[in-house]
Structures are given as structure tokens and as C-alpha cells.
Amino acid sequence: MHKIVRLASVIVLALSIGCSDSTGPVSLSLARLRWEKQNLHNYAFNSLVSCFCNTPGYVHVTVLSDTVHSVFEVSTGAEVAKHWGYTVNDLFDYAANAFAEKDRKVRIEFDPDLGYPRLLSITCAPEIADCGVALQTSNLSEVVID
């Protein structure tokens, strides 16, 4: 019984440390669990990708059955290539891969209610030119399909 209480204390301590670190892999896993608990497979959100590339600006992404269905530029309503859109699961995977790279610095902020990444910023070692990306996600809402 004493071993169980001690193990529980260690787990609670590890989780509390992970929760206070909003940029670590433990927090990423906890947020992913919070997101999965929502059981959302059809949703839409606004997004902005900032990188050393020609981005379309703010886009509205619609995800149906966990797949990017459409991406439209917010300012003009024009459809843009689907590769400018991503799913929430894509964001989690992208962040996990960045954490695994030793030359990457990752900063991530999560929606406190739904758990999805609202900001994912990845920077590289100074000697790597034209490297890094910031992904902002906002106004996520469920899409109801009749």
C-alpha cells in the first residue's frame, strides 16, 4: 500500500511539472488527450502561417472526417491550395516531430478549453538560414453536417 501512495505522489508531481511547462512534450501529450476527449472530427478554424515562404495570409480551414476539406483566404474568399490547411492532429504531429529535433526550439500554446494548439512556433539554430515557422490557429468551432 505504501508503494502505491509513493508512486501516486511521483505521478502527480510529474504531471504538475509537465502542466507548468507549456512548451514541453509532456504538456503536448496532455493537450492532445484533452483535444481527443472533445471527439471533434468536423470543425473549422482560422489560421495564419508565418515562414520564409509566400503564404496566403489568414485562411479559413474546414476539416471534415479528420481531413482538410477546403481552405479559403479570409480577406478575399478565394480558394487556396489545401496544403495551406492542416488538421489539429497535423499540428500535434508537427510539434512532436519538432520536439524530437535537437536543433529546434519549440514554443506552443494551447486552447485552455479544447486543448488544440493555438500557437506553434518553431525556430532553428542560428546557423540554419531561412528556417522556422509560426502557425496560429483561432476561432475553432464544430461543423455540423446534416
Domain ranges for the chain, please list them: 2-142
Structural contact between residues 141 and 45, judged by C-beta atoms closer than 8 angstroms: yes
Which run of H or E residues covers position 47? strand 43-51
Predicted local confidence at residue 31, as pLDDT: 93
Q: Is the pLDDT of residue 20 over 80?
A: no
Cell 504531471 locates to 15
Name which residue leads in pLDDT, 25 or 11: 25
DSSP 35: H
Beta bridge partners of 132: 123
Per residue in 80-128, pLDDT (tens digit) is: 999 889 999 999 998 998 888 887 888 999 999 999 999 999 888 666 6
Report field, pTM of the whole predicted structure over 0.85: no
A 10 A CB-CB count for 68 gives 16
Q: What is the pLDDT of residues 82-95, one digit of tens each?
A: 988 999 999 999 89
Sign, CA dihedral 31-32-34-40, equals positive
